Amino acid sequence: MKKILKEPLVLIIFFGVLLFISYSSLDNYLNRDKNIVVVKNSAIAQLEQSFESRWNRPPTPEERQGLIDKYIRDIVLYKTAIEMGLDKDDQVIRGRMVQKIEFLGNDLIQPPQPSEQDLVTFYEKYKEQYLPEEIITLTHVFFDPDKRDEETLSDADKTLQLLQSRGEFDGDLSGLGDAFMLQNYYPSRSEIEIRKLFGVGFTESVFELEPGVWHGPVLSGYGTHLVYIHSLQKADLPPFEVVRDKVKEDWMADMQIKLNKRYIDGLMERYTIVYEEQL
């Protein structure tokens, strides 16, 4: 027996069987741990809090147990899905995981409090975004291209000459242009309001026009317009002190974006990117 046990082949087989038994035992132990669902008190408290915020009352004992049962069910299904590899190459799951990492970055990386000079510098750099909206009052005459076809622009030009020849605006637009589905007169409207009504191109044009004169043709998604600007209130840049709180809010948001980018860039540096055609 001693002679047999000294044979190299026998020793290899012996230690191989021993290793197999040890590995199987370890695997069974690990698999046993995988099949354990730990329901922490903090998880239960979160379930109760979520229920109360939705229904404005705490859950009953039956509802509480139902929440816990669903939580356990979800964990079991999640673990089973992971074991089956259902998370592999799934764009939806990948997107959610990416989103969670981004949210985690937002929670972990908080911008520092800015100094007064930081805010002043930010204000000077982006002062245009703190300009109040300009307010415009206008009247327009509409020419419908579906009705007038190729004559639309020529008809608009003739009407423009007529209106300009009258001198000051007299408010008499009877018999001019075509019926318009909205209004012809718009008092004290902001740029955003005009943009919603007529589109970007029309809005950019009319806010550049001189008040007190008929202009045209100005195009929109509806067709062709002649426009009279009654008034245009230009906005003055407010002093820094007036908008300081808004500047700080914007500075913090901008810094959060920069810190998040730095965080993601740091993660990216840990990986080597290889394209399939390079293999």
| Residue at 200 is within a domain | yes
Q: Within this chain, do residues 21 and 145 fall inside the same structural domain, yes or no?
A: no
Q: Within this chain, do residues 141 and 121 fall inside the same structural domain, yes or no?
A: no
Torsion 179-180-183-185 (CA) sign: negative
| Residue at 57 is within a domain | no
Q: Within this chain, do residues 254 and 124 fall inside the same structural domain, yes or no?
A: yes
| Residue at 260 is within a domain | yes
The pTM assigned to this predicted structure is 0.51
Q: Within this chain, do residues 142 and 274 fall inside the same structural domain, yes or no?
A: no
Q: Within this chain, do residues 117 and 242 fall inside the same structural domain, yes or no?
A: yes
Q: Within this chain, do residues 176 and 217 fall inside the same structural domain, yes or no?
A: yes
Domain coverage including residue 204 = 133-233
| Nearest alpha-carbon partner for 110 in 267, 249, 252 | 252
For residue 148, the domain's CATH number is: 3.10.50.40
| Residue at 39 is within a domain | no
Averaged pLDDT in 10-residue chunks for the chain of 279 residues: 51 52 48 70 91 92 91 84 81 83 80 93 91 91 93 93 86 88 92 92 93 93 94 87 94 92 85 69
pLDDT digits over 183-194, tens only? Answer: 999 999 999 999
Torsion 49-53-59-65 (CA) sign: negative
Q: Within this chain, do residues 142 and 200 fall inside the same structural domain, yes or no?
A: yes
Q: Do the Cβ atoms of 235 and 129 come closer than 8 Å?
A: no
pLDDT at site 143 = 95
| DSSP labels, 28-82 | HHHHHHHT-----HHHHHHHHHHHHHHHSSPPPHHHHHHHHHHHHHHHHHHHHHH
Torsion 194-198-203-204 (CA) sign: positive
pLDDT at site 236 = 82
| Residue at 74 is within a domain | no
| Residue at 66 is within a domain | no
Q: Within this chain, do residues 142 and 229 fall inside the same structural domain, yes or no?
A: yes
Other beta carbons less than 10 A from residue 177's beta carbon = 20
| Residue at 54 is within a domain | no
Q: Within this chain, do residues 108 and 181 fall inside the same structural domain, yes or no?
A: no
Question: Residue 153: phi, psi to the nearest 5?
Answer: -70, -40
pLDDT at site 26 = 44
| Residue at 258 is within a domain | yes
Q: Within this chain, do residues 162 and 184 fall inside the same structural domain, yes or no?
A: yes
pLDDT at site 73 = 86
- The tally of domains found in the chain comes to 3
pLDDT digits over 195-253, tens only? Answer: 999 999 999 999 999 999 999 899 999 999 999 999 998 878 889 999 999 999 999 99
pLDDT at site 29 = 44
| 3 state SS for 125-184 | HCHHHHCCCCEEEEEEEEECHHHHHHHHHHHHHHHHHHHHHCCCCCCCCCCCCCCCCCCC
Q: Within this chain, do residues 179 and 126 fall inside the same structural domain, yes or no?
A: no
pLDDT at site 34 = 59
Q: Within this chain, do residues 124 and 244 fall inside the same structural domain, yes or no?
A: yes
